Structures are given as C-alpha cells and as structure tokens.
Chain A
Amino acid sequence: MRARLLDEKLAALYRAGKIHGGVFLGRGQEALSAALGINLTKSDVFAPLIRDGAGRLAFGESVLDAVRTCLGSSLGPMRGRDGNVHRGNPQAGYLPMISHLGAMISVVNGVLFARRMKGITGIVGATCLGDGATSTGAFHEALNQAAVEKLPLVLVVADNQYAYSTPTSRQFACASLADKAVGYGVAAHTVDGTDLTACLKVVGGAVADARTGKGPQLVVAKLLRLCGHGEHDDANYIDPKLKNSPLGRDCLKVAEENILQRKWADAAQLAVWRSEAVREIEEAVAQAQREPAPDPFAQDWSALSTRHLLEGNG
C-alpha cells in the first residue's frame, strides 16, 4: 500500500513537471515485489529492478531516500548523480541497478561468491527481472554461473505480459519461463502474481530453499503490468482481454479484499494505514523539495577513487 501511494505521488510530481527524466511504476507488481522484500533480512543481498518500489520498502529503504533520488536531492543516496529507480547502497547489500537488463544477476552472484569465500553462510541474494530480461545473454550467463557455483540466488521474474510494448509472444517461445530453469539445473517455482498470499508462500519457500543450501531458485509470477512502461507511456497497446482476465486483477485490491474477508483488519483500519502512509510520503516529498540540488561547482568530477590517477577534465 505504501509503495502504491508512493508511486501515485511520484506520478503526480512527474505530471506536474517536478521530476527530471522518467518515472517508472510498479502498479500491479506490488504483491510479488513485497513478498520478496519481506522474506529478506538485512544481511541478505537485494538488487531490485524498475517495478520493485514495494520490495525496496519491504527490504528497508526509507520513503525519504526513494523520494530524494527521484527529486535529485544532493542528500539522497545517489546525490543527483543517478536518478529514479537507479538507487541503492551497495555496502548494505542493496545494489543500484544499471539499465541493462539481466546485468545485476552476476553482480549478486559476485557478492554471494565473495561472502562464501569469507565463510559467511545462511544468506541469500535476490534480484528481480521482467519477462523481457530473460531474453538477454546476461540472464543466461549469470543464471548458469549461479547454478555452476551453487549460489543461494533467488531470481524473481515478473512475467507481466509486455516488455515495454512487446508482448510475450514476441519475447519467448517456451510454454512457461519456468521451463528455462530446467536447462540450467535450477529449481523453478510458479505463482499467481496477483495473489499476495500465494506470492508470500511461494517466494518465501524459494528464499528458504536458497538459504538452506538448495542452490539457485527461479520464481516466475504471472501478472499484468497495470501501467505504461514509464509514465510517458499510455500503454494503449495492452490487449483489453488481458485487462479483463484474472491476470489483470489489481493485486492490492485482491489483498485488501482478502484481509477484510479474513477479518485481519476492517475498512477503518485500512483507511488509517492509508492516511499514515500518505502523511509519511507527503512529509518526505516536502523535505526532499527543501533540500539542496547538486551544485556542479561543488562536484569533484572524479570517476576514480584513486585521486592521483585522475585525468584532467579538458
């Protein structure tokens, strides 16, 4: 719920022209993403992708740091040097994605590989992809690498029916993306990505399996992206039949209905949670907007940490 409300605020700021560059939402993918974030601990490694606002918050990212990055505050984790979904804190095991799809998997492998060398056990590394990223060479190389090294990797694929505008029929020809796991000798799990309860169970199981030494785990969740690729995209290419199918269900609504039905909370309680989240988000936006923007004259313009080896900036 916090992630959805944060996304809605970011979309509003984008439409108001307050955000430079793109805004990418996780609408429809919150259940899956949150299910992963909740199952990770602070000692685990997490490399989220563009639609993982929910997983980020569940992993422990503050709303303020998310907003700071989107608004370009110099006090944010990326200091205005990178924006929107490209945020993280590598030394805390929270890796900031580059834009090249599939490229974070082997980096997660590397952290896990190094920790194993240091004798650290009982941890997992998780990363997220969409269906499109499973077509990349980086995906193949890294999943195979994780399998060869028997690393505790959890790879969560949101098969959200479209990679930007390209439907899955133009992306892959196997019956299910879970079939790809077989070829690598990796365990596969499938889940209805619109159902939070199912996501918690399946993703939780995959994380537990990786943690207890059962090697890499591939989780494929079917769902529908309930937004454009970015907020610049009206997504008019999405098949209305899909929207009206069970895949097109809004995972947040499904979860809320389930909570009400099971009487874990009532409508009044949901409203309280919503207003608390809105307050937190509004405060974060107000604070980030007051914070200084990065100053080009105060930058050291250094891409190296070894200062004496810097070239001049000519």
Chain B
Amino acid sequence: MSLITYLDAICEAQAHALRDDPRVFIYGQDVGAFGGAFKATKNLAREFPGRVIDSPISEDAMVGLAVGAAIEGMRPIIEMQFADFSTVGFNQIVNQAASLFWRTNVSCPITVRLPFGGTSGGGPFHSQSLETIYAHYPGLIVLTPATVEDAYSMLIEAVAIDDPVIFCEHKFLYRHLKVEKLPSEALPIGKARIAREGRDLTIVAYSAMVQDALEAAGELATEGWEVEVVDLRSVKPLDTDTVMASVSRTGKLLAVGEAFPWGGVTAEVIARVTSEGFELLDAPPQRLNAKDTPIPYHPNLWAAHRPTVRSIGAAARKILRH
C-alpha cells in the first residue's frame, strides 16, 4: 500500500470538497489539465470538468473573481502558485475579501491556498512565510497545518467556513510527511494540539517548525529534558488557552516561527503569555525566527537563515538552564 503525503492530502481534500459541494471550484495558474505547479490539483480537472480552471497570471484578478463568485454563493478555492505571489493579490485579500462581511453583512467564503515556506534553493521569492501579514488583518482566518492529517481535515473545514481562509501549506512538508490513512475525525479549527508532552519547557510552533521542534525535543530527551511541543494549527484564531495551559505546567516558553522576526506570530504568542500569565513564567520567554534579511538562495546560507533542529535545540537549552 502506498503512503499518503501531505500533498496527496491537500489534493484529496479538494476532491472531497468538489464531490461534496457543487458550489466549490478551483481557480489558479496551471491548476487545470497540468494539475498545478506542485501537482496539488492532479487529475481534478478530469474528474470535475469545468470546475478546476486555469487562470491568467493575475493574482489580483484571481482573488477579485473569487470574491465576486462568493457573493454569488459559490465556494472558490484559489491556488497561489507560491505564497510569495499572493502579494500581487494582497489588495483583494485584505481590502475586498476581509472587509466584505463587516461592511455588508454578506459573508465571503473563499479559500486561498498558499504554498509557502522554505525549501533549499527556493531563494528570496519562492520561500516566504506570509501568515503573519494576513493574520494582522481583521476578517481573515489563517491556517498552518503541520501534519498530513491536519492538511486534509483543515482544508475540508476551510472550504466549508463562511469566511475568507488563508490556507498556508508548507512546501517542504508536501513530500516529506507521509501517513497510512487519512483521518475521519479531527480537532476543529481554532484548537491547538499538544504534539508532544513534557514538563520542562513549552515550545510553541506551527507548520513545518512543529516537525523541527519535535525533532529537537527528541534530542533534548536524550539529555534528560522533557519538552512539550504545542502545534498551533491555526495562527488566527490563536488558541491562547492551550498555550497558557502548557506554560502553566512547564513555566518556560520558546515560540518558534519560520517568518521574518519583526512582530509576527511568535511575538503575539509571547505578548499574550506575558500579559495574561506573567506569574506562570520561571524564565524570560524567548522567540526564534528567521533572520531579518530576504531569504537566501544557497543551501549554506538558507540553513543559517531559518530556525533549524539545531538552533531550536540551542535556544531551548538556554531557557532550560536559566
């Protein structure tokens, strides 16, 4: 039996949505007969004729069209070829889609899929993590699945949600993660997950960084440290309760994200824990992000630019020894 990858799960979730709901369609560059740059829509155009549609290279108009279709009662899924290119459609996402319900009381059920995050050799314009920017805007839901199971169940749920969803799917995880079968039940969107239990330190992470944090936690276990890893699953809404409950058990916090360091999800996590649970902390909370430069191309530079198992381990040891 062949294993199911994170990418397969995304393709299968879309097939599920298309099968289940005649209002769903997919629109994006090369998504039709070609099956998408990453093959996330492989065979879907054949299976669902007229509902998996190639768009021109026009991110602004792609999202605008989705908003119009959503007003008309459809449930479009937009595939951005790379998250980086969604900045061309940024205006339609943050000003049109995100403001529609607040302004008019008409909801805007669109899902924008962003293949994001670093892979070796991607360089400055095919590697970015944009969850922070979208999470800043009222009216958007921002999801960051870290597992095959979540990629599947959260994408199905995203399409069913009546509000605009930014679905951040990590390109490194596409073929890296594999499972034997897809889940029939899942935690609902909005709930974080304890990916590994521990009592000495809480590492809060999301998307690919959960996998790196788990690996770091495994190494730290051989040194006698029990590290808890919280997988946020969605960065907006952010499940502060689960994070606070974990920190109340461990007293120590490290927030890890792949995005640029200024502001962002890790800063938000630390701000919330510090202001709402200062007394729970036994050491200053720390955050670990990418460096404050564009993302480098060469693997040597790239590996030094973003958090890694090694740098997560080092940051964790520093807090643990406090």
Contacts and interface: CB of A to CB of B under 8 A. Distances in A.
A67 interface: no
A308 B163 contact: no
Contacts of A241: none
Interface residues on A, range: 35 or more
Contacts of A111: 68-69, 71-72
Contact of B189 (A77, A117, A309): A309
A105 B71 contact: no
Nearest to B234: A309
Interface stretch (B3-11, B101-109, B206-214, B279-287): B101-109
Nearest to A82: B103
B242 interface: no
Central interface residue in B61, B100, B237, by most chain A CB within 10 Å: B61
A98 B96 contact: yes
Contacts of B88: 137
A245 interface: no
A78 B73 CA distance: 20
B71 A309 contact: no
A91 interface: yes
Contact of A141 (B60, B68, B69): B60
Given A306-B163, A309-B161, A110 B99 contact: no
B248 interface: no
B61 A144 contact: yes
B144 interface: no
Contacts of B64: 103-107, 109-110, 138, 141-142
B55 to A, nearest CB: 7
Contact of B106 (A91, A118, A144): A91
Contact of B60 (A138, A148, A306): A138
Interface residues of B, number: 49
Nearest to A111: B68
B45 interface: no
Given A88-B104, A303-B139, A306-B161, A144 B58 contact: yes
A90 interface: yes
Nearest to B73: A114
B163 A305 contact: yes
B195 interface: no
Nearest to A89: B104
A144 to B, nearest CB: 6
20 contacts: A86-B103, A106-B64, A107-B65, A107-B67, A107-B68, A110-B70, A113-B68, A114-B71, A114-B73, A137-B60, A141-B58, A142-B61, A144-B56, A148-B56, A303-B98, A303-B99, A303-B101, A303-B138, A309-B237, A310-B237
Interface of A: 77-79, 81-82, 86, 88-91, 95-96, 98-100, 103-115, 117-118, 137-138, 141-142, 144-145, 148, 302-306, 308-311
